């Protein structure tokens, strides 16, 4: 039994070991959301969409709580985020044990809260993650392990994107991504699209093409 509930699309092209795409949904969503475009993703991947552990009721889930203070300021529950970071890292190991997945070919695709945690997992454990597609998120250093900046990121590459009129996560937060990743020597691509808090069709095609072998 895996520690997270998930949906899976097996690769259409089977090899001795296949790469993995792990999809991590946003706050208040569920595993069916990102899985809706699984059929459009490259044929050689296992595509797994995980359900976040915290039940918000009515089919909605979260990786960590988002709370409001008396002044209506939002803040993230960092302890829960770190628990979910560890849960995702462990879940990857479970999938590798369950299926013939190449442990050196693991890609995270996260949206919003799932994107923030994708960064946290990859920066904490770059030996586990080869690629990240970070959609409508930002890097929160407090969610990564304490000494993450000392890690070896030479095999990690990241595609980050954001809506230029995002009303949920300010685009200014996302614009800090590229200079930060550059400072760590991480190969990365950052793109913006004229949309709100969502994934534009062009955004999808761009990251799908980015996933294809060069």
Per residue in 64-121, pLDDT (tens digit) is 988 765 555 667 889 999 999 999 999 999 999 999 999 999 999 999 999 999 999 9
186 pLDDT higher than 80? yes
Task: Return the SS3 of 193.
Answer: strand
The C-alpha angle 85, 97, 10, rounded to 5 degrees, equals 90
DSSP string, 8-61: EE--SS--SSEEEEEEE--TTB-HHHHHTTGGGS-TTSEEEEEPPSEEEETTEE
| CATH topology (fold) of 6-211 | Rossmann fold (3.40.50)
pTM over 0.75: yes
* Average of per-residue pLDDT across 138-156: 96
Mean pLDDT, rounded, for 6-19: 95
Kindly tell me the sign of the dihedral angle through the C-alpha atoms of 50, 95, 40, 159.
Answer: positive
Q: In the chain, where does DSSP find H-type helix?
A: 31-35, 78-98, 113-124, 171-174, 177-183, 201-211
Phi, psi dihedrals of residue 86, rounded to the nearest 5°: -70, -35
Instruction: Give backbone dihedrals phi and psi of 14, rounded to 5 degrees, phi first.
Output: -85, 135
The 10s digit of each residue's pLDDT in 20-44 is: 999 999 999 999 999 999 999 999 9
pLDDT tens, position by position, 85-100: 999 999 999 999 999 9
Longest distance between any two alpha carbons in the chain, whole Å? 55
């Amino acid at each position: 039994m895996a520690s997270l509930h998930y949906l899976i699309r097996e690769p259409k092209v089977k090899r001795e070991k296949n790469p993995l795409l792990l999809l991590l949904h946003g706050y208040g969503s569920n595993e069916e959301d990102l899985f809706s475009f699984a059929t459009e993703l490259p044929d050689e991947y296992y595509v797994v969409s995980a359900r976040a552990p915290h039940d918000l009721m009515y089919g909605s889930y979260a990786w960590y709580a988002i709370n409001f203070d008396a002044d209506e300021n939002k803040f993230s529950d960092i302890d829960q985020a770190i628990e979910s970071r560890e849960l995702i890292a462990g879940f990857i190991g479970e999938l590798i044990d369950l299926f013939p997945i190449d442990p050196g070919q693991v890609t995270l695709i996260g949206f919003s809260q799932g994107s923030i945690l994708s960064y946290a997992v990859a920066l904490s454990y770059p030996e586990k993650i080869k690629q990240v597609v970070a959609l409508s998120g930002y890097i929160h250093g407090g969610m990564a392990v304490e000494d993450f900046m000392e890690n070896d990121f030479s095999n990690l590459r990241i595609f980050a994107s954001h809506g230029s009129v995002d009303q949920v996560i300010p685009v200014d937060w996302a614009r800090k991504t590229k200079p930060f990743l550059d400072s760590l020597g991480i190969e990365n691509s950052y793109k913006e699209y004229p949309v709100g808090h969502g994934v534009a069709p062009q955004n999808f095609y761009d990251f799908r093409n980015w996933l294809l072998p060069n």
